[in-house]
Amino acid sequence: MKHLLIFFHFYKTYIAWSFIITILLGFVDSHYISAVLTKLFLTIFAWYITNETSNKHKLTFYKNLGISIRTLFISMFVVDSVLTILIIFLFKI
């Protein structure tokens, strides 16, 4: 449970942008696979930007709590993909 709360603390910094991109993908009438691939690309991009810039020090909090950065971003991708699929499904109804 502790790890789940920590993950949501991390994810809340990305959720607004993710939601905006998902809404745009829904308006474009994208397919599920292309939407998930877009989210994969954006997650890898976010990892790269976070890992290679001065924002890297923000990840120290999660490292000190015993959660790897890889786990954070993989978890973010999985949750984001599920939410994207649900939202695009609602657009198609």
For residue 81, the model assigns a pLDDT of 95
For residue 28, the model assigns a pLDDT of 86
Q: By residue range, what is the domain housing residue 84?
A: 27-92
- Does a structural domain hold residue 14? no
- Does a structural domain hold residue 54? yes
Contacts of 11 (CB under 8 A, 6+ apart): 75, 76, 79, 80
Section 63-67 average pLDDT: 88
- Cβ-contact 14, 46 below 8 angstroms: yes
In the chain, the number of structural domains is 1
pLDDT tens digit string along 9-54? Answer: 889 888 999 999 999 988 887 789 999 999 999 999 999 998 888 8
Tokens representing 33? Answer: 């696979």
Average pLDDT over the chain, rounded to an integer: 89
- Does a structural domain hold residue 7? no
Given the structure tokens 């991009």, which residue do they identify?
45
